[in-house]
Structure 1
Amino acid sequence: MSKLIHPIAGTVALVTILSFWLATVWSEAFAGEQAVRMVKTLVPYGFFILVPALMAAGGSGFSLGKHMRGPLIVAKKKRMPIIAANGLLILIPSALYLSFKARTGAFDMDFYVIQAIELIAGAANITMLSLNMRDGQRLSRRRAGHPDANGA
């Protein structure tokens, strides 16, 4: 069951974070204040999708990798605490703060500083989750005996 849940949950988590990030960049760069307010207000509601997806991906990944060894597993295991800490300590608090500021129309220097931090932290998580997905695909190919198992 973990073999089915893990890639689905990981993909949902990655797509959710990517959609938050892209919606933020789009609204800031190409839309007006009303669009920024809407995006920043809606992002915390996406946590109802994101948090369970990350929990399912992490739990199923831990289960799948429990008895596995090798550099790809080590790399995935090293990235996961960073992804989790980044989300819990930077991304979620930033999103909640920005949502509050946007709803009150307070687009001040604090808003934009936290917004920049959130975009950088979000890009880091997108990168690390993408690397985990790539490594997971390589592991799956290796287990299936695929000739491109090492990503060459």
Structure 2
Amino acid sequence: MRTPLRLLHAIAGFVGLVIILRFLGSTAYAELYGDAAAILAAKSCIVWRLPVLIVALAVAGATGFALAGASPRGLAARKLARMRIIAVNGMLVLVPAAIFLFWKAEAGEFDATFAALQTIEFIAGGVNIVLIGMSFRDGLRLTGRLRRDQQRAL
């Protein structure tokens, strides 16, 4: 049975994942096919939507902690460990990088610092996408919606 808390957890996690994918996708597209204005537009869009992402991931984390209970074990413990990494990566790497890259793009400074930080942002964002995806998989296993033999078929 899907409780409101489980539903909220799933929706918040999905929203967070989609936003991160959109951020990376819009950045990659602007970097590969756009000009300075396109890069600035992508960076501006990201900065102004960061609060939505932060709230979505905070809700996913809080509901995950509530669902796991006082002494999480197994898959639930692994999901919580991943959530900590996702949060640290986001708050210490991705959010500051997004803001700094926006400032650099706004100033038209597409220099080596911009490129290096953009590379770090892509890597850190990719790590979070993988970790959130793994948490989705484990969440489906915890609810019985995905068994190990089903995963191998995928």
TM-score by length of 2: 0.89
Partners of 1:136 and 1:28 in 2: CA distance: 34
1:63 aligns with 2:66: yes
4+ residue segments displaced more than 6 Å: none
Which deviations, in whole Å up to 9, do the C-alpha atoms of 1:72-130 show, x marking residues without a partner? 11211111111000001000000000000001111111100000000000000011001
Q: Percent identity?
A: 38
Q: Does 1:86 align with 2:84?
A: no
- Does structure 2 conserve the Cα–Cα contact (< 8 Å) formed by 1:139 and 1:149? no
Letter in 2 for 1:130: G
Q: Which amino acid aligns with 2:122?
A: L
Instruction: Establish whether residue 5 from structure 1 lines up as the match of residue 8 from structure 2.
Output: yes
Count matched residues.
147
Give the gaps of 5 or more residues in structure 2: none
Residues 91 and 118 in structure 1, CA contact (< 8 A), matched pair in contact too: yes
The corresponding residue for 1:100 is: 103
Comparing 118-127 and 23-32, the one that deviates more: 23-32
Pairing partner for 1:38 from 35, 38, 41: 41
Aligned residue in 2 for 1:28: 31
Over 3 Å counting, the alpha-carbon distance change for 1:9 and 1:151 in structure 2 is: farther
Give the residue type in structure 1 aligned to 2:35.
Answer: G
My pick for the range that moved more, 31-40 or 97-106, is: 31-40
The residue matched to 2:143 in structure 1 has which SS? helix
1:149 paired to 2:152: no
Shift of 1:69: 4.6
Once residues 9 and 149 of structure 2 are traced to their aligned partners in structure 1, the CA distance between those partners, rounded to angstroms, is 20
Query: Take 2:147 and 2:73, find their aligned partners in 1: how far apart are those partners?
Result: 13
Q: CA deviation at 1:140?
A: 1.1
Q: In structure 1, how many angstroms separate the alpha carbons of the residues matched to 2:12 and 2:57?
A: 7
| Alpha-carbon RMSD | 1.5
Q: What is the Cα deviation at residue 151 of structure 1?
A: 5.0
Is the partner of 1:107 in helix, strand or coil?
A: coil
Q: Structure 1: how far apart are the matches of 2:32 and 2:14?
A: 26
Which whole-Å deviations, capped at 9, do the CAs of 1:36-62 have from their partners, x for residues lacking one? 111012211111210110111011111
SS at structure 1 position matched to 2:109? coil
Normalised by the size of structure 1, how large is the TM-score? 0.90
